[in-house]
């Protein structure tokens, strides 16, 4: 009777329906189905093939046979038994057992991941930014402004006449149709030092410390750079790109009880710096384009030289020098702004001559 499958035998543990008691049984594949016999071997019963379900293992070698009456049989190494009963391994379990497939998939998945990281997420974030209505940016900015101008001490000390002059320079720069969106703010902040920054939505903040060391022509050059940030919606795009990358990093590394989620922050931060440098370069290009254009008869004077002068003055200011001393030497790949001289090369090239 067992001639057709002589080695399809095994030892299994049988659990009667609803009972946790284990019975050790000897199992063999007969022509009608599984033949079970107790350890003493004198009594045997046959479980017909059509009344049992074969549950192949996922990995490992623990085969389960579920009987129609609710009994369950576990057989370690039950593969030959199942094969003798006519079970064929499915495509999925063959794939899951294949190391060739797994190893071949590694470069594919790596490539896919890298493409998502370097190209997919930034593109998707930019697309999302392009479809974000302007009032969202405005809301984000209003919250930020309220936080920045909370402190009475930070009221500006800049002469109102100069404030007016700079505001009109900005209005002239952005043109009539965009003029509504742009607002210039003045902030007295020894902590920040000489600096200017753009918030999403068109609010540009310049510090008193900056106005102290720059003349109006140089401030205009800095404003042209900040307007570039606003035009290309860098604030929103950076926020969206950063959150996209954090999610991706968390998916790849974070889903386990490990210190992983504490460590994923670092590479995301480095990549953010790459984005900011990309955005700075874009804003610089905008500034250079505006500074090189002819101001016309009524406009304020402008020249690429002014931007180079402004940047060198900022970098050489005592506050910035002190900050640099604390931080030590920062290599260019870690710097928010590309190293100054590298940045200024196109401006110097466009600067007609020393004035």
Q: Where on the chain is the footprint of other proteins (CB under 8 A)? A: 13-25, 36-40, 43-48, 57-60, 62, 64, 69-72, 74, 92, 95-99, 101-102, 105-106, 109-110, 112-113, 136, 139, 190-191, 252-253, 255-260, 262-264, 322, 326
Q: Let me know: does 234 contact 174? Beta carbons within 8 Å.
A: no
In angstroms, how far is CA 280 from the centroid of its own chain? 20
Give 37 or 340: the residue with its C-beta nearer to other proteins: 37
Rounded distance, CA 226 to CA 220, Å? 10
Least gap, CB of 199 to other proteins (angstroms): 16
Give 112 or 334: the residue with its C-beta nearer to other proteins: 112
Give 61 or 342: the residue with its C-beta nearer to other proteins: 61
Q: What angle separates helix 234-249 from helix 121-130, to the nearest 10 degrees?
A: 140
Coil/strand/helix, residue 30: coil
Least gap, CB of 333 to other proteins (angstroms): 19
Least gap, CB of 222 to other proteins (angstroms): 23
Least gap, CB of 319 to other proteins (angstroms): 9
Least gap, CB of 89 to other proteins (angstroms): 14
Give 131 or 298: the residue with its C-beta nearer to other proteins: 131
Give 179 or 260: the residue with its C-beta nearer to other proteins: 260
Give 31 or 300: the residue with its C-beta nearer to other proteins: 31
Q: Let me know: does 225 contact 173? Beta carbons within 8 Å.
A: no
Give the contacts of 49 (CB within 8 A, at least 6 positions apart): 32, 33, 34, 85, 86
Rounded distance, CA 337 to CA 332, Å? 8
* Sole residue written with tokens 């480095």: 270
Report which of 143, 139, 152, 138 is spatially closest to residue 187, judged by C-alpha positions: 152
Least gap, CB of 305 to other proteins (angstroms): 31
Report which of 158, 155, 234, 241 is spatially closest to residue 197, judged by C-alpha positions: 234
Least gap, CB of 259 to other proteins (angstroms): 3
The order of strands in the sheet holding 33-38 is: 44-48, 33-38, 22-29, 9-15, 72-76, 62-67, 52-55
Least gap, CB of 41 to other proteins (angstroms): 9
Kindly write down the DSSP assignment for every residue of 113-181, as one continuous string: HHHIIIIIHHHHHHHHHHTS-HHHHHHHHHHHHHHHTT-GGG---S-HHHHHHHHHHHHHHH-TTTGGG
* Pair of tokens at residue 339: 């190293």
Q: Let me know: does 287 contact 326? Beta carbons within 8 Å.
A: no
Give 31 or 97: the residue with its C-beta nearer to other proteins: 97
Least gap, CB of 211 to other proteins (angstroms): 18
Least gap, CB of 193 to other proteins (angstroms): 10
Give 136 or 339: the residue with its C-beta nearer to other proteins: 136
Give 266 or 273: the residue with its C-beta nearer to other proteins: 266
Q: What is the dihedral of CA 322, 326, 328, 334, to 10 degrees?
A: -100
Give 145 or 281: the residue with its C-beta nearer to other proteins: 145
């Amino acid at each position: 009777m067992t001639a057709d499958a002589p080695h399809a035998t095994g030892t299994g543990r049988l659990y009667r329906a609803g009972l946790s008691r284990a019975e050790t049984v000897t199992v063999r594949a007969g022509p009608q189905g599984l033949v079970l016999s107790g350890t003493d071997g004198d009594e045997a019963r046959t479980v017909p093939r059509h009344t049992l379900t074969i549950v192949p293992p996922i990995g490992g070698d623990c085969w389960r046979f579920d009987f129609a009456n609710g009994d369950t049989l576990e057989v370690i190494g039950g593969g030959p038994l199942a094969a003798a009963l006519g079970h064929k391994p499915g495509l999925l379990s063959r794939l899951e057992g294949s190391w060739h497939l797994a190893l071949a998939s590694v470069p594919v998945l790596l490539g896919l991941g890298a493409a998502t990281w370097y190209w997919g997420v930034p593109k998707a974030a930019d697309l999302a930014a392009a479809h974000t209505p302007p009032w969202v940016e405005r809301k984000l900015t209003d919250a930020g402004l309220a936080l920045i101008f909370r402190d009475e001490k930070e009221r500006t000390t800049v002469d109102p006449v100069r404030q007016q002059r700079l505001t009109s320079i900005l209005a002239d720069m952005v043109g009539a149709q965009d003029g509504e969106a742009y607002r210039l703010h003045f902030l007295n902040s020894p902590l920040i030092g000489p600096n200017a920054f753009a918030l999403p939505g068109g609010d540009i903040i310049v510090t008193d410390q900056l106005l102290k060391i720059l003349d109006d022509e140089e401030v205009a050059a800095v404003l042209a750079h900040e307007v570039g940030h606003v035009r290309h919606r860098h604030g929103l795009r950076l926020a969206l790109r950063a959150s996209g990358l954090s999610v991706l990093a968390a998916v790849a590394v974070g889903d386990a009880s490990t210190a992983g989620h504490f460590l994923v922050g670092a590479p995301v931060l480095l990549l953010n710096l790459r984005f900011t440098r990309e955005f700075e370069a874009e804003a610089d290009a905008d500034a250079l384009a505006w500074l090189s254009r002819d101001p016309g008869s009524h406009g304020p004077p402008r020249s690429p030289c002014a931007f180079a002068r402004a940047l060198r003055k900022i970098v050489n200011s005592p506050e910035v020098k002190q900050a640099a001393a604390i931080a030590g030497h920062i290599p260019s790949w870690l710097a928010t702004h590309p190293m100054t001289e590298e940045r200024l090369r196109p401006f110097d090239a466009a600067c007609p001559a020393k004035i």
